[in-house]
DNA sequence: GCCTTCCTGTGATGGCCGTCACTTCCCGGT
DNA sequence: ACCGGGAAGTGACGGCCATCACAGGAAGGC
């Protein structure tokens, strides 16, 4: 049995506006579930409709093609929720969810979730905002897939993943750097293409790898170089 | 000046559950606007936040890449709404909207829209469902772009556009068939690729074109053939 | 320590399809 | 009927990148 202290929804951002008693009540309605790394939490196409909350840990929202290729939609961490789609429209799950680490989940039956929406406008509004941001990021991704070449998508993702170093100006870091296969699945390409894209930059010194860290030595120069590359590659001359 | 009779929101699906008086009140808060074919209703990146309702006509939700390539997200007709994203999160418009035909629009300021959401749970729930279905179709599109080759995407789109003939079993029709460029922009490829994809099927007699109509003579056989094609193309042997 | 397993880098190959370039077709206007 | 503009079909060409293959590296278990 888990320690009772862990089983609370205080950290879930959807419930930020709720008072103590309402939250306690919800905690009572949840089922609790622990998942190990690599374990599948939810499977695309299944008929369940609960909404899930990540109390602790991280999960990946993904999908697999018939040929086994993996497409990643998002990575969610503690405090975030998923599974609202099925609860709202009653359709089968649109994607699969896989735990990345040891993860503690709370799951709320869809009926309870829908009741909550009726009673708590604040929660409803948060849900609206979450859905909105999903639509927006999906649209951006579609745009990228439609108009940006694979190699460039890799660079774009690298920039999205990086966080600025607190000390050195212009230095950005990705840590820990996930396996290249994971980056590949986020921008819909292959591990090899990601490796080649990064490899192309190591000689310039603008990109440097040390263990599980990737350093962008000077973000401004890096982006500059990217623009130059794009200009070369984009121009299609016919002799 | 427009005939007053046209200026009503009775046909807007978002407002189906509203009583007469509430609807009338909204009609008073709306601005009305008429757009001709090809006219831009909303531009990506602009800061406006009204929500728009299509009283009459059709619009395309699209985006343009720097190189001028057009990516279509959806086509909306009378009774449907758009522009909720900006109203909900206050961010700039995520896409542009272009009128396809002569179109009559009602636009409601975001503050009025947000008030409405507070007061009318029914409307809120409809919005939730709309957003949900946007997320779902976006996810499907991402999956298709990531794992399905351009030619196959064309066939998939053809099947989605077709409606069954009432008389002949197995006969499906697309009418009116839009310009191939438009189909291309929906599946993120080029006019030429669409033409070639269709052209490949004309000799077999399974696909037939007459003026602005495209006939799928036998949908079952057509899908069968598709599966066969896919199997051939997908297998990559290295001898 | 050693062995297993996963991750990484890189070469070779070939197919898909985006781009250009033209011709032909269709349709609406006058 | 004529003309003009957009749409459709089709050939040629070549770049990008997915796929296969294999070698070296890092990490963890016992």
- In the β-sheet with B103-108, what is the strand arrangement from edge to edge? B31-35, B103-108, B51-56, B81-82
How far, in Å, is the CA of A36 from the C1' of nucleotide C2?
29
Residue B231 pLDDT: 65
Where does residue A67 rank: exposed (0-12), middle (13-18), buried (19+ CB within 10 A)? exposed
Nucleotide closest to residue B238 (CA–C1'): D20
Strand C contact at CB of residue B149, distance < 7 A: yes
Residue B232 pLDDT: 61
Whether the Cβ atoms of residue B105 and residue B32 lie closer than 8 Å to each other: yes
Residue B213: strand pairing partners: B210
| Residue A144, number of CB atoms within 10 A of its CB | 19
Distance CA A146, CA B137 (A): 16
Residue B88 sits at the chain A interface (C-beta within 8 Å): yes
- A83 Cβ contact partners less than 8 Å away, ≥ 6 residues apart: A42, A49, A50, A51, A52, A93, A97, A107
pLDDT band at residue B7, thresholds of 50, 70 and 90? confident
Residue A4 pLDDT: 42
Residue B6 pLDDT: 76
Residue B228 pLDDT: 83
Distance from CA of A85 to the nearest CA of B (A): 6
**pLDDT tens for each residue of chain A, 239 residues long:** 444 447 889 999 999 999 999 999 999 999 999 998 889 999 999 999 999 999 999 999 999 998 889 999 999 999 999 999 999 999 999 999 999 988 999 999 999 999 999 999 999 999 999 999 999 999 999 999 999 999 999 999 999 999 999 999 999 999 899 999 999 999 999 999 999 999 999 999 999 999 899 999 999 999 999 988 776 655 454 45
State how far the alpha carbon of A156 is from the alpha carbons of A223, B47, B163, B180, in Å: 9, 25, 40, 31
Q: CA-CA-CA-CA torsion for B184, B185, B190, B192, nearest 10 degrees?
A: 30
Whether B5 shows a pLDDT value over 60: the answer reads: no
| Residue B51, number of CB atoms within 10 A of its CB | 24
Residue A5 pLDDT: 43
- pLDDT by residue (tens digit) across B61-114? 999 998 889 999 999 999 999 999 999 999 999 999 999 988 999 999 999 999
Instruction: Give the position of tokens 């708590």.
Output: A120
- Picking from B71, B84, B139, the nearest residue to A95 by CB comes out as B139
Residue A231 pLDDT: 65
Mark the nucleotides of strand D covered by protein, meaning any atom under 7 Å from a CB: 6-12, 14-21, 26-27
> What would the two tokens of residue B117 be?
């959401």
How far, in Å, is the CA of A2 from the C1' of nucleotide C5?
32
Q: Do B145 and A142 touch (CB under 8 A)?
A: yes
Whether B239 shows a pLDDT value over 60: the answer reads: no
Q: Which residues numbered 166-185 in chain A sit less than 7 A from strand C, measured from CB?
A: 177, 179-181
Whether B238 shows a pLDDT value over 70: the answer reads: no
Whether B4 shows a pLDDT value over 60: the answer reads: no
- How far out from the chain centre does Cα A130 lie? 13
**The whole model's pTM is what?**
0.93
The DSSP result for A40-57, as a single string, is EEE-TT-----EEEEEES
Length of chain B: 239
Residue B229 pLDDT: 77
Q: Coil, helix or strand for B181?
A: helix
Distance CA B8, CA A77 (A): 46
Question: HSE-up of A62 (CA within 13 Å, CB side)?
Answer: 25
Distance from CA of B147 to the nearest CA of A (A): 7
Distance from CA of B19 to the nearest CA of A (A): 19
pLDDT higher at B194 or B36: B194
Distance CA A108, CA B187 (A): 37
Whether the Cβ atoms of residue B64 and residue B70 lie closer than 8 Å to each other: yes
Whether B15 shows a pLDDT value over 60: the answer reads: yes
pLDDT band at residue B230, thresholds of 50, 70 and 90? confident
């Amino acid at each position: 049995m888990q320690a009772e202290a862990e089983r609370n929804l205080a950290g879930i951002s959807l419930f930020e506006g709720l008072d103590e008693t309402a939250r306690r009540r919800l905690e009572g309605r949840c089922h609790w579930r622990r998942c190990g790394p690599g374990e599948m939490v939810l499977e695309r196409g299944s008929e369940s409709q609960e909404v899930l909350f990540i109390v602790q840990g991280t999960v990946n929202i993904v999908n697999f093609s018939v040929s086994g290729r993996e497409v990643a939609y998002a990575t969610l961490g503690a405090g975030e929720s998923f599974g609202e789609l099925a609860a709202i429209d009653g359709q089968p799950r649109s994607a699969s969810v896989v735990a990345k680490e040891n993860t503690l989940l709370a799951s709320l039956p869809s009926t309870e979730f829908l009741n909550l929406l009726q009673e708590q406008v604040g929660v409803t509004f948060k849900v609206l905002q979450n859905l909105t941001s999903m639509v927006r990021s999906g649209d951006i991704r579609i745009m990228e897939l439609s108009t940006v070449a694979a190699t460039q998508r890799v660079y774009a993702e690298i920039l999205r993943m990086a966080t600025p170093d607190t000390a050195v100006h212009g230095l950005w870091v990705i840590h820990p750097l996930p396996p290249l296969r994971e980056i590949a699945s986020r921008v819909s390409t292959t591990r090899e293409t990601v490796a080649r894209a990064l490899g192309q930059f190591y000689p310039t010194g603008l990109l440097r790898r040390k263990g599980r860290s990737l350093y962008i030595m000077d973000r401004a120069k890096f982006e500059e170089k990217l623009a130059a590359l794009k200009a070369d590659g984009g121009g299609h001359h016919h002799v």
